[in-house]
Chains A and B, each alone.
Chain A
Amino acid sequence: MTSRTRPVAATAPPPSPDAELLAGRGIAYVSRSYRALDFRFRVQTDDVALGRYLDEIFAAFPIPADHCPVATYSLLDLGGGAELRYLLFCDDQHLLSAATPASQLDRLLWHINRRVVEVDRRHLLIHAAAAEWNGTGLVLPAPMESGKTTLVAGLVRAGLRYLTDETVAIDPARGLIDPYPRSLSVDSGSWETLHDLAPRLPEGVAPYRRHQWQVPPESIRPGAVAPPTRPGFVITPGYEQGAKSRLTPLRRSEAVSVLADNAFNFRAFGQRGLEVLGALVGNAQCFRLVVGDLDEACQLVAELLSDGNPDEEEQ
């Protein structure tokens, strides 16, 4: 979704024939093929270390049975003589010429996420993080900069399983959250809080990291990715510096509104979208969560999960 993700400042692509620019470049590494929801892709690059690193970043995505990608990204380095030496292509479309490798990687990840949302016709897609505990899903819808990734990272670190940090995919037919287990994109503002999740970058790859860590969920804990999960909680988080973390009940009607406000494709679903969200919250407990301290907030969620039975009096 274009308005909720942050494109890297990009230089306008040159008007030269893209395919010719790409042709003839040395490709040293081709990644496995991956399926991110309904978007299938692979990455090729002239930098073997980068290629291996990307395979680590994407490792939680399933591999298509036929190993056949729909899109092939190419990351190329023109070398020291060129100011904008780092190039990114999607198939033969030139997406970016950048001065830094970090911009190149940021743009690749942003573009994949955008394509995941664009090509999906099956799911109701919500800008939210999600995690699972004992077969029950927690949907954490919120606008950008609300601390979704930090919260879900804390929850996974505390023992929950990971579904996504960015896009919750609701399968309307089954009423399940299908996992979109991309690597958690942890902003620098949360590095201190999540210091134990700092990725160990392979040699030669450090320049590709700038403002965000990419934390593969399996690096937090083996087996950390959940299967398709039925949602049982809707918790909309908001970070408030210095505040005492607290959970307050949210009316289901308001939860529907929050989910719709954060949906990428609600309008495309029309009336069916409201029915899907109604079914989701109809079986869920709904809350607002003020996050002042991450551990405190995770503890509140853990207590909520351990309570088990929905407290209808508070709804």
Chain B
Amino acid sequence: MSDEGEIVAGGGTSVPRRRDDLAAIELDGDVVVYDAASDAMHIFNATAALVWQCLDGTASVEELGDELSAAFAADAATVRADVHAAIAVFAERGLLDTGETDLDEEVPATPGRAPAAPQVLAPAPST
């Protein structure tokens, strides 16, 4: 665990939370997240989507793992590993609320500019 208040991916007692300014839709179990600030789109599979939906800032990583393993009657260690992996990816992509304020001015829209290439979270569902 790191300094207090900082979210570290997979840190068991940290309480991760989705950024409020992201757009997200669910399609066939996948979740598509659009980050307008960076003009990037992210696609997450069903496992990651499930974790994503739970990141409302009320449960710790450890608690999420326990809740999901209980809900799906799945092996707790496996589920925890999946939760940690998913949250690590969310954090790496800057999709979690770190409590920091970005004062950079948003780049204005440019006609024809496409969002960054999407990336699909690789691990297959195991819950």
- What is the number of residues of chain A that contact chain B, defined by CB distance less than 8 Å? 30
A141-158 interface with B by 8 A CB criterion: none
- In the complex, chain A residues whose CB is within 8 Å of the CB of B109: 265, 267-268
Which residues from chain B sit less than 8 Å from chain A, CB to CB?
A: 23-25, 27-28, 30-32, 34, 36, 39, 41, 43, 109-115, 117-118, 120
Q: How far is A2 from B118 in the complex, measured between Cα atoms in Å?
A: 22
Contact assessment for A260 and B111 in the assembled complex, using a CB-CB cutoff below 8 Å = no
- In the complex, chain B residues whose CB is within 8 Å of the CB of A315: 28
Contact of B112 among A264, A274, A275 (CB under 8 A): A264
Count A-B pairs with CB separation below 8 Å: 81
Q: How far is A130 from B104 in the complex, measured between Cα atoms in Å?
A: 39
Contact of B111 among A261, A265, A278 (CB under 8 A): A265
Q: A254-B43, A256-B32, A271-B36 are in contact. Are A3 and B113 (CB under 8 A)?
A: yes
Is A266 among interface residues, defined by CB-CB distance under 8 A? yes
Is A63 among interface residues, defined by CB-CB distance under 8 A? no
Which residues from chain A sit less than 8 Å from chain B, CB to CB?
A: 1-4, 117-118, 251-254, 256-257, 260-268, 270-271, 273-275, 278, 281-282, 315
Q: A3-B113, A264-B111 are in contact. Are A253 and B23 (CB under 8 A)?
A: no
Q: How far is A268 from B36 in the complex, measured between Cα atoms in Å?
A: 9
Q: How far is A117 from B32 in the complex, measured between Cα atoms in Å?
A: 26
Q: How far is A264 from B43 in the complex, measured between Cα atoms in Å?
A: 20
- In the complex, chain A residues whose CB is within 8 Å of the CB of B28: 251-253, 315
Question: What is the chain B residue whose CB lies nearest that of A260?
Answer: B115
